[in-house]
């Protein structure tokens, strides 16, 4: 299995632009998570989906952030408009079942820089 696949690996954009991050979970995994990692705040859960349905989006910073999972093999995290403080590494992760019953597998992340 190729693992969790994220694209792009790096994204540099100007403030105000729209940014879309993409994720393909491991085939057969039912849960998908978006995390943001910064030096100041560590690993923060933004949103998670179970069977393509958003379960908890309380970690989404503000309305500029949105996430979708149109099918079991694809999810997007969109930031519109982007701001310099959004600069971070964004990780997508998936698990076969509910976390705690199966391990969480991370993708390689997208390093976002907003200038």
Partner 1 sequence: GENVEQHPSTLSVQEGDSAVIKCTYSDSASNYFPWYKQELGKRPQLIIDIRSNVGEKKDQRIAVTLNKTAKHFSLHITETQPEDSAVYFCAALASGSARQLTFGSGTQLTVLP
Q: Where on the chain is the footprint of partner 1 (CB under 8 A)?
A: 33, 42-43, 45, 48, 55-56, 58, 91, 98-100, 103-109
Between CA 57 and CA 46 the distance in angstroms is 6
Q: Which residue, 25 or 109, is less far from partner 1 as judged by CB? A: 109
Site of tokens 């969790």: 4
Nearer to partner 1, 72 or 99 (CB): 99
Min CB(55)–partner 1 separation in Å:
7
Tokens 């199966």, located at residue: 102
Q: What are the angstrom distances between the C-alpha of 2 and each of 65, 73, 78, 109?
A: 28, 13, 24, 14
Q: How far is the CB of 15 from partner 1 (least distance, A)?
A: 25
As a whole number of angstroms, the distance between CA 113 and CA 115 comes to: 6
**Least separation in angstroms between CB 80 and partner 1:** 25
Q: Which is closer to partner 1, CB of 49 or CB of 114?
A: 49
Q: Considering beta carbons, is residue 16 or 103 the nearer one to partner 1?
A: 103
Nearest distance, CB of residue 93 and partner 1, angstroms: 8
Torsion of CA 50, 79, 91, 23, to 10 degrees: 60
């Amino acid at each position: 299995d190729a693992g969790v696949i994220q694209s792009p690996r790096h994204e540099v954009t100007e403030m105000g632009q729209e940014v879309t991050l993409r994720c393909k979970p491991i085939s057969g995994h039912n849960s998908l998570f978006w995390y943001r990692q910064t030096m100041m705040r560590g690993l923060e859960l933004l949103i998670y989906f179970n069977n393509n349905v958003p379960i908890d989006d309380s970690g989404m910073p503000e309305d500029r952030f949105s996430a979708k999972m149109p099918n079991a093999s694809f999810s997007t995290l969109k930031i519109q408009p982007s701001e310099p403080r959004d600069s971070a590494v964004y990780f997508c992760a998936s698990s076969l079942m509910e976390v705690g019953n199966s391990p969480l597998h991370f993708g390689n992340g997208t390093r976002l820089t907003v200038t």
